[in-house]
Amino acid sequence: MNTLAINGGKPVRDTYLPYGQQWIDDEDIEEVVKVLKSDFLTTGPKIEEFEKKFANYIGAKYAVAISNGTAALHAACFAAGIKEGDEVITTPITFAASANCILYQGGKPVFADIDPKTYNIDIEDVERKITKKTKAIIPVDFTGQPVDIDAVNDIAKKYGLIVIEDAAHSFGAEYKDKKIGSLVDMTTFSFHPVKHITTGEGGMITTNDDELYNKLKLFRTHGITRDEEILHNKDEGPWYYEQLELGYNYRMTDIQAALGISQLNKIDKFLERRREVANKYNEYLKDIDGIILPYQEEYTKSSWHLYIIQLESEKLRVGRKQIYQALQAENIGVNVHYIPVYYHPYYKKIGYEKGMCPNAEKLYDRIITIPLYPGMIDKDVEDVVGAIDKVIKYYRR
Ligand SMILES: *Cc1c(COP(=O)(O)O)cnc(C)c1O
């Protein structure tokens, strides 16, 4: 057998393959340059165009462009009316932002455990964790597979809760043949470079609700309005504006929006290639003994932001750390998504303890994210599979 690179052998690849990467072409660059040569660098015509096209693509009434995905979650928590003393239920297997946004508003994140099959939030555990203080649920479409939205909406209706879907992973994903983005009260997206489309930094919130839409728009720009219909002093003069809420400067620039529009033109191609790569992984990895592949519900169509393998630790001689290091040595850019949010020292400091979500904690010890992005060529996919095969075979009991 080939000696592992970590033991001094030749790596599967000569060059490092990252786990995720943006796709930027000349068209994107031209669109950005056009804005740089125009009158408006920020809050110009490109923002509105991006919002309209984005809302149209996913089938929502409104879209609000914002400075990043975290700001999108913060704005959604504001619009939902989250305030001190309120509880909001989310998953621990997510990026910290999904829970931090609750803290920004003075609310308390409550972590429900995950479903060990899909790794998405366990709806039954959500229901168990509802109290009189619960105001909202923030499910995350983990890796790009939508949560069971009907089940989430049923519970929300039963207890009078608002649903904010963190769709940072699931732009273009489908639930029962409908695109994610208009199926709950508010849906948030991220345009960080590893996500499906990028604006460098950027985010979007979509909603079908007029009142939520108005709150989101206020929040993005200091809580300030010039809308004559809302102003308290309508006759002050044409310069006049009013601050109605404590908002932030969370605006996206027109430079970013131009990039976003250009990226949006390519989303179907991006999704197709991500799905192709995922299907190849499903096919090539299924016979490797010692790993579990991502489980997909038949009513979902994932947008495949991440491809995660789960190690069957009982079949292996070493732990996740050694497998991870061995794959890195083969020049495969593996990663781990995610450290349970409440493991972080900050969350410990504010009173969270290990042991709250046993399924999430067990999963965390066994997962490795492997490379997946639209620019991957077939040879890249084969290298990843070859490296996993080599490493897992070597360490199998
Ligand atoms: C990327 C991400 C965010 C935050 O988005 P930013 O644009 O980086 O602020 C939030 N939630 C999840 C699940 C993410 O993956």
pLDDT at 1: 61
The pick from 73, 101, 190 for probing ligand 1's pocket by mutation, whose C-beta has the most ligand atoms within 8 angstroms, reads 190
pLDDT digits (tens, 9 = 90+) for 161-177: 999 999 999 999 999 99
> Tokens at residue 152, please?
């989430």
Cβ atoms within 10 A of the Cβ of 380, count?
18
The identity of residue 220, as a single letter, is R
pLDDT at 286: 97
The answer to whether residue 179 is catalytic is no
DSSP string covering 154-190: HHHHHHT-EEEEE-TT-TT-EETTEETTSSSSEEEEE
**Which atom, in ligand 1's list, is nearest to the CA of 98?**
11
What is the 107 CA–ligand 1 centroid distance (Å)? 19
What is the 171 CA–ligand 1 centroid distance (Å)? 12
The domains of the chain are located at 5-20+268-395, 26-264
**Cβ–Cβ < 8 Å for 82, 99:** no
- Residues 285, 287, 293, 298: is their CA dihedral positive or negative? positive
Which CATH code of 3.90.1150.10, 3.40.50.300, 3.40.440.10, 3.20.20.70 fits the domain covering 5-20+268-395? Answer: 3.90.1150.10
User: Is the beta carbon of 253 within 6 A of some atom in ligand 1?
Assistant: no
What H or E segment, with its residue span, contains residue 32? Answer: helix 26-36
Closest residue by CA, ligand 1 atom 6: 69
- The pLDDT profile of the chain, 397 residues, written as one tens digit per residue, is 689 999 999 999 999 999 999 999 999 999 999 999 999 999 999 999 999 999 999 999 999 999 999 999 999 999 999 999 999 999 999 999 999 999 999 999 999 999 999 999 999 999 999 999 999 999 999 999 999 999 999 999 999 999 999 999 999 999 999 999 999 999 999 999 999 999 999 999 999 999 999 999 999 999 999 998 889 999 999 999 999 999 999 999 999 999 999 999 999 999 999 999 999 999 999 999 999 999 999 999 999 999 999 999 999 999 999 999 999 999 999 999 999 999 999 999 999 999 999 999 999 999 999 999 999 999 999 999 999 999 999 999 9
Which CATH code of 1.10.10.10, 3.30.420.40, 3.40.640.10, 3.90.1150.10 fits the domain covering 26-264? Answer: 3.40.640.10
C-alpha pair distances (Å), 123 with each of 170, 360, 362: 19, 14, 18
**Cβ–Cβ < 8 Å for 347, 341:** yes
The pick from 166, 186, 196 for probing ligand 1's pocket by mutation, whose C-beta has the most ligand atoms within 8 angstroms, reads 166
Catalytic residue among 108, 179, 195, 217: 195
pLDDT at 2: 87
Which of 163, 172, 115 lies closest to 135 in space, CA to CA? 163
> Tokens at residue 254, please?
């027109």
Which of 176, 202, 204 lies closest to 191 in space, CA to CA? 202
